[in-house]
Structure 1
Amino acid sequence: MTTSDIQEPPKITEEHFLDTGTGIEAETEDDGASPEIARPWNPEQIRVNTKQFSLRNALDMIEDDSLELAPDFQRGRVWKLVQKSRLIESVLLQIPLPAFYFAEDTDGYMRVVDGLQRLSTIHDFVRGGDEQGFALKGLEYLQNTVEGKRFEDLPAPWKRRIFNTQIVTHVIDPTTPPDVMYDIFKRINTGGTPLNAQEIRHCMSKDRSRTILRSMTSTAEFDAATNGMGGHIRMNDREMALRFAAFWLMGTDGYAKYAAMDPLLQRTTGMLDDANEVDDARVNALMSAFRKAMVNARLVFGDHAFRKWPLTSSWRNPINRALFETWSITLAKYDAEDLDGRKSEIVARARTLMTRDYRYLEAITSSTGDVRRVLYRFETTAKAAEAGK
């Protein structure tokens, strides 16, 4: 092999959150790529009603489960103590809060979509008790009045001021189609630290799909294959499991139908939420295939599973989503005994692809949702998995 045989690999960039690497490679878009969403909605399908609640009403709805704060949603609770305290100070100063967005389902239950951090903070302060409650710290205007106090330490007039605070809430009607609703969420998701795509899907989804994805990413097999990615603070672990479920349930033909990752994953979430579409037996089969894929990925690639690993480098790069979906789906079809005897040949073939095949590198690096690139990386990965036969 000569130097001329080797392509200059694209620069690998890791996603960051709160100035810390997430362990996931950032996906990029080609400048000339067509937008993933190119479908104008009928304005009559968008139904958003504006309502007004007192904070007492909102907190009571949270307590009786008619308003959901997206359980196990870690991203929504990462504010530092001073940030939380100054939000409470704003309420005490009667400074109007920005509008909230809720999504209502057909049973009348609502989920917080935009404003989750603010409402979680207020709920923790007022109803959190010793476990999640906190004392105010770092106030700007009321440091001589309520600094260091918990909610139960506040004088009654201050408590009433919090309870009586009115919030403006835009409630998205359940008759709004899911894809339209998802696009609305993406458009309004601008305040604070914006939610990523999987966090939005989590807010929109029901408990069944959440439980399935959490179960998939809580397995020892997943943690071993991804070097401890389970419980990811930006829910990238859930997105990877969802991508596996999407291609396992619908295949590349299903992807070609939607021609974009967002609608495919949104559709898959809906399928997992509906036991009539994916029953418990099918879920068990999905879980079994996922565990098998994780065991096989660890067996073949070791610490480099689902990461770019060109012949020119032994560095362990961040996990690449496109590699995850293609190799996990591919390896789920093989027995460990078969792969164990061929793993060196498979690794060599895979590393060669990531070194010499620029079309393959493009397919796992930029505009990864492009149908042609999705099909190419699946086809090429399937051939690489046959190495040594």
Structure 2
Amino acid sequence: MTAADAQEAPEVVEDVFDGKTTGIEIEREDPAASAPEPVIAKPWDPAQIRVSTSTFSLRNILDMIDEASLELAPDFQRGKVWKPEQKSRLVESLLLQIPLPAFYFAEDSEGRFRVVDGLQRLSTLHAFVRGGGDSFRLKGLEYLDQENSGFGDLPVQWQRRIYNAQLVVNVIDPATPTEVMYDIFKRINTGGTPLNAQEIRHCMSKKRSREILKRMTSMPEFNTATNNLGGHIRMNDREMALRFSAFWLQGVDAYLEKPAIDSFLERVTGMLDRPEEVPDEKVESLYADFRTAMTNAFLLFGEYAFRKWPEGTEARNPINRALFESWSVALTLYEAADLERRREAIVHAARRRMTEDFRYLEAITASTGDARRVRYRFEAAAEDARAGL
């Protein structure tokens, strides 16, 4: 054991959202690691970055949503955390004719739009005006005496005021490079609770990749191995499935050529959206290997799968995304019967590494996108999975 190995193990910190633990370990930055590659790694031609500004009536935008020409990112769950009072005061702002902050839409080559910024606001207004399962009544208003009113209960002139409200929309032209679209999103993502990287990818992606990741995280094998993480409120389940997909499709060497995790995952999201790059047959192979990995992980580690589990403790830590990506890829190579036979040796090797190898602990704790740390944790998982052979 080296002097570095003898250092104190990094503290495990679980992510918290809206006052509740999420079951996922936080990935921290380490000043000692190499600086991550910028999202935009080359100078872009400003002529390619086109954002135009238009004004739409709310009625027009709601019609676009109903006609499916404006997409509100299906399965996006974050909007549900808005409290009734927050939703009601948004509606009250329109009734008081207070201008709302500008919205951002991304236009695709077929003339359809996706909401880049303003998803929660538009979801709220659509639910109030057009109803459906997410409809609500006004509650906790500050100025207007319309407590417990639905849209249909408002005076006709107030309904008209809502419909005629003018919303300023910045539209990102489809000719803008995908990487720049992501960067624009990150720059304008300054709402009450900023979106995380996977939530941004979800909003910017197309239906095909969203359905692939949803199917992966809906598998019983995934939920058994992760203690029912599917449907995670911050989409960490989808990010983990995407990380597996990225390294399964591209390999570690491809990552090391351009070692920036967000850019890597954005590229693979685009690949999953294009059947010509990842055909349906390849997707079926992806599902099969993912199912195998989840089954094997639970067979070996049980309720400790993808969690730090050093020797001398039986406490169950939150799920670690770096462990998930490296071990899930490693375990696609083995049959269950083989792993069952070698289970004790593999678990011993993995736990010993988490106890004594400080370099490994760094690689799964902080600055996990660093090229050297990515390489080391994948090599370590592959080595430990061979224990007992």
The answer to whether residue 28 in structure 2 is matched with residue 36 in structure 1 is no
Match of 2:106 among 92, 95, 103: 103
Q: Report the counterpart of residue 141 of structure 1 in structure 2.
A: 143
Cα deviations by residue, 1:139-172 (Å, 9 ceiling, x for unpaired):
0000x2x111100111100000000100111111
1:1-389, aligned counterparts within 5 Å? 7-32=7-32, 33-37=34-38, 39-42=41-44, 43-129=46-132, 131-142=133-144, 144=145, 146-389=146-389
Q: Which amino acid aligns with 1:266?
A: E
Identity of aligned residues (%): 65
SS at match of 1:243: helix
Q: Which amino acid aligns with 1:50?
A: T
Q: CA deviation at 1:36?
A: 3.3
Once residues 104 and 43 of structure 2 are traced to their aligned partners in structure 1, the CA distance between those partners, rounded to angstroms, is 20
Once residues 72 and 47 of structure 1 are traced to their aligned partners in structure 2, the CA distance between those partners, rounded to angstroms, is 29
Name structure 1 gaps, 5 residues minimum: none
Q: CA deviation at 1:75?
A: 1.1
Once residues 138 and 291 of structure 2 are traced to their aligned partners in structure 1, the CA distance between those partners, rounded to angstroms, is 45
Say if 1:7 and 1:356, in contact at 8 Å, map to a contact too: no
> Structure 1 length as normaliser, TM-score?
0.96
Once residues 381 and 285 of structure 2 are traced to their aligned partners in structure 1, the CA distance between those partners, rounded to angstroms, is 23
Say if 2:5 and 2:358, in contact at 8 Å, map to a contact too: no
After the TM superposition, which parts of structure 1 deviate over 3 Å for at least 4 consecutive aligned residues?
A: 4-7
SS at match of 1:176: coil
Q: Which amino acid aligns with 1:79?
A: W
Sort the Cα spacing of 1:214 and 1:5 in 2 relative to 1 into closer, same or farther, 3 A.
closer
Say if 1:261 and 1:369, in contact at 8 Å, map to a contact too: yes
Q: CA deviation at 1:45?
A: 2.7
Once residues 44 and 247 of structure 1 are traced to their aligned partners in structure 2, the CA distance between those partners, rounded to angstroms, is 34
Once residues 28 and 264 of structure 1 are traced to their aligned partners in structure 2, the CA distance between those partners, rounded to angstroms, is 18
Cα deviations by residue, 1:196-220 (Å, 9 ceiling, x for unpaired):
1001011111100010000000010
Q: CA deviation at 1:5?
A: 7.8
Compute the RMSD of aligned alpha carbons: 1.4
Once residues 15 and 347 of structure 1 are traced to their aligned partners in structure 2, the CA distance between those partners, rounded to angstroms, is 26
Sort the Cα spacing of 1:75 and 1:5 in 2 relative to 1 into closer, same or farther, 3 A.
closer
Q: Which amino acid aligns with 1:59?
A: L
> Structure 2 length as normaliser, TM-score?
0.96
Cα deviations by residue, 1:65-116 (Å, 9 ceiling, x for unpaired):
0000001111123201111011101110001001111111000100111111
Q: Which amino acid aligns with 1:37?
A: P
Q: Which amino acid aligns with 1:36?
A: E
Once residues 170 and 80 of structure 1 are traced to their aligned partners in structure 2, the CA distance between those partners, rounded to angstroms, is 27
SS at match of 1:339: helix
Once residues 133 and 378 of structure 1 are traced to their aligned partners in structure 2, the CA distance between those partners, rounded to angstroms, is 47
Once residues 285 and 5 of structure 2 are traced to their aligned partners in structure 1, the CA distance between those partners, rounded to angstroms, is 43
Say if 2:36 and 2:259, in contact at 8 Å, map to a contact too: no
Sort the Cα spacing of 1:5 and 1:62 in 2 relative to 1 into closer, same or farther, 3 A.
closer
Once residues 272 and 344 of structure 1 are traced to their aligned partners in structure 2, the CA distance between those partners, rounded to angstroms, is 37
Q: CA deviation at 1:40?
A: 4.6
Once residues 98 and 274 of structure 2 are traced to their aligned partners in structure 1, the CA distance between those partners, rounded to angstroms, is 42
Once residues 189 and 164 of structure 1 are traced to their aligned partners in structure 2, the CA distance between those partners, rounded to angstroms, is 27
